[in-house]
Structure 1
Amino acid sequence: MHRRLLTLLAALPLALAAAPSTQAAGPAVKANGFYVDPDSSAKRWVAANPNDGRASAINSSLANTPTARWFGAWSGAVGTAAGAYAGAAAGAGKLPIMVAYNVYNRDYCGGHSAGGASSPSAYAAWISQFAGGIGGREAVVILEPDSLGDYGCMNQAQITERQNMLTGALSAFARQAPNAWVYLDSGNPGWADAATMAQRLNNAGLRQAHGFSLNISNYFTTAENTTYGNAVNRELSARYGYTKPFVVDTSRNGNGSNGQWCNPSGRRIGTPTQTGGGAEMLLWIKAPGESDGNCGVGAGSSAGQFLPEVAYKMIYGY
């Protein structure tokens, strides 16, 4: 089924391709593309600043590219918010990309995006509401960016706690959102070696997920991520007897990485959201122009804040 589906999608123009077909449960074939968030930070900025000299470029290059909607404490009643977003996408006949970003002790070691649910039990309730909001609708869901890379300052009890939260989240999606393809985030090629990440993924319940995600909010090239994803799969196969498809965040990787992760200068947007391209899908998950935190060319900003000058320069790579 999966091989036949990829053949079908390969025959479609990239701009029209969407998510692959069902396996036991998952998004059906859609030939009319991914959902463009009508309330993205880029769209809001363009609407509020139509006479700004940067508005035309930001509108054409960023605001109309399908990009993930992130959900966290700021989303309010997350079941209602997720349901409204997935419902709007379904009504438009498009496939939404949604990010769950609320794990307890989120960004525990990095700090710029620290926060999340108040306890593991609060997270379990939140993720259940998230999954329930999607319900039977089709969606691509990225589960907890950075959660398996952010181990450097954590003790074993905290690591086990996080793994259990992620395993529980995957179980909730399997029960409550059977037509969502859920990708467990696995960091990027510069964070942990493939063997280490394969172990972390497996211990966090990857078998229940559709696949894993790479490069979220980072800058490594698609080729580097594809090499790394394939290496992770070799380790999964050798150690645990299975492999999974993976997706790559290409939103800001057009110039690759300069070794910095927090608002580095000189980065560029990458391949727009599509199927294929070396991974199962290339997706814009981190919105270009949204700050990584109070650092780099985003000094004085907070994580997630839209910075029009950064966005504008990222279009042209300077």
Structure 2
Amino acid sequence: MLLTPALTALAAVAQPSTAHAAGPVTTLTDGFYVDPDSTAQQWIDAHRADGRAGAIQSSIADVPTARWFGNWSGAIGTATGAYTGAAAAKGRLPILVAYNIPDRDICAGQSGGGAGSPAEYATWIAAFAGGIGSRPAVVVLEPDALGGESCMTPAQTAVRNAMLRNAVAQFKAKAPNTLLYLDAGNPAWVGADTMARRLVDAGVGGAHGFSLNVSNFLPTTQNTAYGNAVNAVLRSTKGYTKPFVVDTSRNGNGSDGTWCNPPGRRIGTPTRWGGGAEMLLWIKAPGESDGNCGTGAGSSGGQFLPEVAYKLIYGY
């Protein structure tokens, strides 16, 4: 898919600069927006004397990472407009996550919630896209929504797909410079042929692409192989393929087979263009809890845990 002129210009800025590390591959992140109010940065600002603050600043807070938007975000159009406006003022490309679909996280439940009805969600997602407007942005649409269809009835699935198709249409109409990625779970969840069908049913034909490994730990190579397998099915059944992005925020040590605050994981390749996918992105913020489980026992989903963040830096 061709980028609009605005996105083409930002993509050029975001590509690795010759002023940085030698060699054809770099993890430097020119062009992507660093959230100045991330949970990691908030913790650092309040704990400057903590011995972990320096490492968390340089290894996590300074890395471009997605900001998640949901029913905690207040007036959503105002929120997305302010965030993308701040990024545009710096000439940077922001990464946003839309996470408010009804019956959110229906399989695991640690991040349950979402809009109260399909109508409420339709209003919310239209305002989300409208707030971005013509500003360039990357948006990951509803992590786990398609993977979670495994836990839904056919009737529930039909309603969810209709909501996602409408969301894709809203971004196409209201946010033309947004690279929209419909979330496609991860390789350990749903087979590539099934996920390709779910993507089609949810309207991926109108989106820029799909996202993989959000909040998970699977290696980048496993995700790129899966993304290519999904695209092979799309090519054979629909005659097109789609770019995909991989969440590398916590996959530096791969997966131990569990998903909820497992020990021994490590931060992965920082946000960048390329790397086997269209982009490698930090979508899940390292140090934010997956829920009341594992190394985050007693916490809630999204709560920043400095000890977990610190251990992710060093892999223990």
Name the TM-score, length of structure 1 as normaliser.
Answer: 0.92
Residue 125 of structure 2 is aligned to residue 127 of structure 1: yes
Amino acid in structure 2 at the alignment position of 1:271? T
Aligned to 1:91: 89
- 1:8 is displaced (CA, Å) by 6.6
Residue 17 of structure 2 is aligned to residue 13 of structure 1: yes
Alpha-carbon separation, structure 1, partners of 2:14 and 2:60: 25
Alpha-carbon separation, structure 2, partners of 1:96 and 1:143: 14
- 1:315 is displaced (CA, Å) by 0.1
Amino acid in structure 1 at the alignment position of 2:64? P
1:301 to 294, 299, 302: 299
2:185 to 167, 184, 187: 187
Aligned to 1:76: 74
1:64 to 62, 72, 92: 62
1:310 to 301, 304, 308: 308
Using the TM superposition, name which of 308-317 and 7-16 deviates more: 7-16
Moved over 2 A (4+): 7-16
Secondary structure at the counterpart of residue 189 of structure 1 = coil
1:111 to 99, 105, 109: 109
Alpha-carbon separation, structure 1, partners of 2:259 and 2:18: 29
What is the CA deviation profile of residues 101-151 of structure 1, one whole-angstrom value per residue up to 9, with x for unaligned ones? 000111112100000000000000000000000001000000000000012
Is the Cα contact below 8 Å between 1:14 and 1:274 reproduced in 2?
A: no
Amino acid in structure 1 at the alignment position of 2:157? I
Alpha-carbon separation, structure 2, partners of 1:309 and 1:295: 15
Secondary structure at the counterpart of residue 70 of structure 1 = strand
- 1:15 is displaced (CA, Å) by 9.2
Aligned to 1:167: 165
- 1:153 is displaced (CA, Å) by 2.2
Q: Percent identity?
A: 66
Compared CA separation, residues 95 and 237, structure 1 to 2 (3 A): same
Is the Cα contact below 8 Å between 1:41 and 1:306 reproduced in 2?
A: yes
Aligned to 1:242: 240
- 1:11 is displaced (CA, Å) by 7.2
Secondary structure at the counterpart of residue 139 of structure 2 = strand
Secondary structure at the counterpart of residue 146 of structure 1 = coil
Alpha-carbon separation, structure 2, partners of 1:49 and 1:94: 28
Secondary structure at the counterpart of residue 103 of structure 1 = coil
Aligned to 1:23: none
- 1:2 is displaced (CA, Å) by 5.4
2:230 to 224, 229, 232: 232
Secondary structure at the counterpart of residue 163 of structure 1 = helix
Is the Cα contact below 8 Å between 1:15 and 1:33 reproduced in 2?
A: no
Alpha-carbon separation, structure 1, partners of 2:221 and 2:107: 28
What is the CA deviation profile of residues 181-229 of structure 1, one whole-angstrom value per residue up to 9, with x for unaligned ones? 1000000010001000000000000000000000000000000000000
Aligned to 1:258: 256
Count matched residues. 303
Alpha-carbon separation, structure 1, partners of 2:116 and 2:19: 41
Secondary structure at the counterpart of residue 151 of structure 2 = coil
- 1:9 is displaced (CA, Å) by 7.8
**Superposition RMSD on alpha carbons, in Å?**
2.0
Amino acid in structure 1 at the alignment position of 2:116? S
Alpha-carbon separation, structure 1, partners of 2:95 and 2:15: 23
Compared CA separation, residues 15 and 156, structure 1 to 2 (3 A): farther
- 1:273 is displaced (CA, Å) by 0.3
Alpha-carbon separation, structure 2, partners of 1:2 and 1:103: 29
Aligned to 1:49: 47
Amino acid in structure 2 at the alignment position of 1:63? A
Alpha-carbon separation, structure 1, partners of 2:14 and 2:178: 22
Secondary structure at the counterpart of residue 81 of structure 2 = helix
Compared CA separation, residues 134 and 208, structure 1 to 2 (3 A): same
Alpha-carbon separation, structure 1, partners of 2:19 and 2:299: 34
